[in-house]
Amino acid sequence: MAKKSKEYSAEKITILKGLEAVRKRPAMYIGDVGKRGLHHLVNEVVDNSVDEALAGHCTKIKVNINADNSVSVEDNGRGIPVDVHKEEKKPALEVVMTVLHAGGKFDKGSYKVSGGLHGVGVSVVNALSEWLEAEVRREGKVHHQRYERGTTASKLKASGKAKTTGTKITFYPDNEIFNTIVWDYAIIAERLRELAYLNKELEITAVDSREEGEEKEEIFRYKGGLSDYVKFLDGSTNALHNKVITVYKENEEIPVDVALRYNDGFNENILSFVNNINTIEGGTHLSGFRSALTRAMNTYSSKNKLIKTTKNEKISLSGEDFREGLTAVISVKVPEPQFEGQTKTKLGNGEAKGLVDGIVYEGLQEFLEQNPSVGKRIVEKAVLAARSRAAARKARELIRRKSALEGGSLPGKLADCSSKDPEMCELFLVEGDSAGGSAKQGRDRRFQAILPLRGKVINAEKARIDKLLSNNEIQSIITALGAGFGGNGGIEEGEKLTGAEFDITKLRYNKVIIMTDADVDGSHIRTLLLTFLYRKMPELITGGKVYIAQPPFYKIKQGKKEQYAFDDNERDFIMERFKKENKTQKVELQRYKGLGEMNAEQLWSTTMDPNKRSLLKVSVESGSEASTLFRDLMGSDVEARRHFITSHAKFVVNLDV
């Protein structure tokens, strides 16, 4: 009996072979079938050309969003081989395009990517395209082949004469697969810019030809590489020293490329990359960098006796102090990267830590010896940071004592939930006391906690840590969350745990939901909250714990019938329908300007009820985008802020909520 059922089930299992599997479960290969997955197609094709560049055979890549909404990626590499593949008895090009993972067979043994969603192969793009055309210039001829939904649609044809070599892939994303096939030029250009900074030999052109007469073209070429990248990231902040510090060295087949500079601000802005992929969650290369920085700076300052200790003040500089106002980019190339973590963007290779540490330590020492005045300025800044940290410690102690006085460790304004299981619980950060009141009444108190925020939230981009901590709203948020704050994603070996770092395992809620009015003030407060969370509790955002509530914009009413609309399209749609259903009765439209205009029941059913609401999840796709975004938004550069405000819609998109 048992045997029989086993046989039965074995028969039932269909093994999906090749590209059919990709079309059945696209998300497994590209993450999702929304906007993000769509744009991933372009990255995938571009990555192949970048690989060709890394192998030393390609200097130019051009990406064009064509008028017909297809995308072309063209390079001047050697061209994908077109000779007949022995095992498959088909042209190599056709194998690469139609066989899953066949790309690996051409492995050049160099820095290919094998983790995350990158490196799934161009055949995946082919499978998810209504059509794809490959054009290869090679061996004096132009070779051409067409595919449709992953299958071969024409034989490989050679025609004409080619004086140069290269590959051009043009594809049209499949409407049957994706929720949207509308390209966002900014998303594509941003990644291409990043790639150009990371590969200074490479010239990348981005073109948008969709609007006749309004074609856009940008050429990304940065001869300074990471050094230019640091200047870009710094924008108009005031540099502590003009020259960007750079370190470059290759040991044991792992090239390590680092650039850094200090500004007079208070934030740490370190981007790290492995094989051109932004390692948002960091990893061993980042740990190596940090520990080298702390060690090199401390060694330098004690060797040159730069710290004066008095009777009243003993100063010891920690890693955190040396990262205040630091902008840095770290790029390593690892032959076989292991990616770990929630989003597979954390480097796991143990050997990278010591390697990066050694190279960076040596490079920094050399720089400091040659530029003593810069070294002195950096140490002086770190001393100020250490002093402010000491002040922050006092402020923290004050918070602790204050909450003890108030009879518990939680803020008085917090209406906590009854469940003590963080996995189940959510915290709503609500703008204003009146909406806070409705939320408290309307919530499901078993698992929903409400923290009303009254005053303005302080701008974390412009305040030092001690100042931040003296802000009431910030204090309440930190105590309610219960996981501390500060630190920047981990402690280095040999660095002391001060008990002050953010520890996500202590978090009292699994979701932190920002609920603000749908007006200018509301979006300002939301941005301030996100800025604070991004700067002081980044793991909360990278860990996918932060959400934005979406209250409705409109209520449409006809007699007793009422329905809510979350955007203008939906409003029009509902109004049309109501008018059709009942031609005589008046349709009333109410626009909600604030959460306060809803009563408790309405707020619950439209915005808080997990079965009905829709939340936007805040995530950070590209570290550089996020930090320049927050800098422009919250920093003191008025021009940048004006620019940001005029393109405000992009914000939500960028955060990929």
Element (H, E) at 367: helix 351-370
> Which one of residues 23, 63, 72, 77 is an interface residue with ligand 0RA (CB under 6 A)?
77
Which of 38, 46 has the CB closer to ligand 0RA? 46
Residues 106 to 135 in contact with ligand 0RA, rule: CB under 6 A:
106
Segment near ligand 0RA (CB under 6 A); pick from 79-87, 153-161, 298-306, 372-380: 79-87
273-277-43 Cα angle (round to 5):
155
Residue of 117, 602, 98, 521 lying closest to 343 (CA atoms) = 117
Residues 6+ apart with CB under 8 A from 501: 484, 485, 486, 487, 491
As a dihedral over the C-alpha atoms of residue 496, residue 499, residue 502, residue 503, rounded to 10 degrees, the angle is: 100
Q: Does 60 bind ligand 0RA (CB under 6 A)?
A: no
Segment near ligand 0RA (CB under 6 A); pick from 48-56, 290-298, 335-343, 625-633: 48-56
How far is Cα 519 from Cα 502, in angstroms, rounded to an integer? 31
Residues 381 to 420 in contact with ligand 0RA, rule: CB under 6 A:
none
> Which one of residues 75, 320, 625, 632 is an interface residue with ligand 0RA (CB under 6 A)?
75
Which of 37, 79 has the CB closer to ligand 0RA? 79
Segment near ligand 0RA (CB under 6 A); pick from 44-52, 191-199, 452-460, 630-638: 44-52
How far is Cα 481 from Cα 505, in angstroms, rounded to an integer? 11
* Signed CA dihedral, 308, 313, 317, 322: sign only: negative
The site map against ligand 0RA for 536-565 (x = CB under 6 A) is: ------------------------------
Q: Which two tokens mark 44?
A: 């995938």
> Which one of residues 59, 60, 66, 81 is an interface residue with ligand 0RA (CB under 6 A)?
81
- First vs last C-alpha separation in the chain: 51
Residues 51/57, Cβ–Cβ less than 8 Å: no
Segment near ligand 0RA (CB under 6 A); pick from 77-85, 356-364, 484-492, 512-520: 77-85
Residues 88 to 107 in contact with ligand 0RA, rule: CB under 6 A:
106
Segment near ligand 0RA (CB under 6 A); pick from 46-54, 271-279, 300-308, 569-577: 46-54
Residue of 519, 510, 528, 507 lying closest to 594 (CA atoms) = 519
Task: For the CB of residue 132, give the shortest distance to ligand 0RA in the complex, in Å.
Answer: 13
Residue of 116, 107, 109 lying closest to 338 (CA atoms) = 116
Task: For the CB of residue 63, give the shortest distance to ligand 0RA in the complex, in Å.
Answer: 12
Residues 6+ apart with CB under 8 A from 160: 141, 142
Which runs of E-coded beta strand occur in 275-338?
277-278, 326-332
Known catalytic residues are 431, 517, 519, 521
Which of 167, 627 has the CB closer to ligand 0RA? 167
> Which one of residues 22, 44, 48, 227 is an interface residue with ligand 0RA (CB under 6 A)?
48
Task: For the CB of residue 48, give the shortest distance to ligand 0RA in the complex, in Å.
Answer: 4
The site map against ligand 0RA for 356-375 (x = CB under 6 A) is: --------------------
Task: For the CB of residue 203, give the shortest distance to ligand 0RA in the complex, in Å.
Answer: 15
Angle between the N-to-C axes of helices 623-634 and 520-536, in degrees from 0 to 180, rounded to the nearest 10 = 130
Task: For the CB of residue 70, give the shortest distance to ligand 0RA in the complex, in Å.
Answer: 17
Task: For the CB of residue 332, give the shortest distance to ligand 0RA in the complex, in Å.
Answer: 23
> Which one of residues 167, 278, 287, 327 is an interface residue with ligand 0RA (CB under 6 A)?
167
As a dihedral over the C-alpha atoms of residue 195, residue 196, residue 197, residue 200, rounded to 10 degrees, the angle is: 120
Q: Does 52 bind ligand 0RA (CB under 6 A)?
A: yes
Task: For the CB of residue 59, give the shortest distance to ligand 0RA in the complex, in Å.
Answer: 12
Task: For the CB of residue 54, give the shortest distance to ligand 0RA in the complex, in Å.
Answer: 11
* Secondary structure tally for the chain: helices H, strands E: 22, 26
Element (H, E) at 195: helix 185-198
555-557-558 Cα angle (round to 5):
165
User: Which residues of this chain interact with ligand 0RA, rule CB under 6 A?
Assistant: 48-49, 52, 75, 77-81, 106, 167
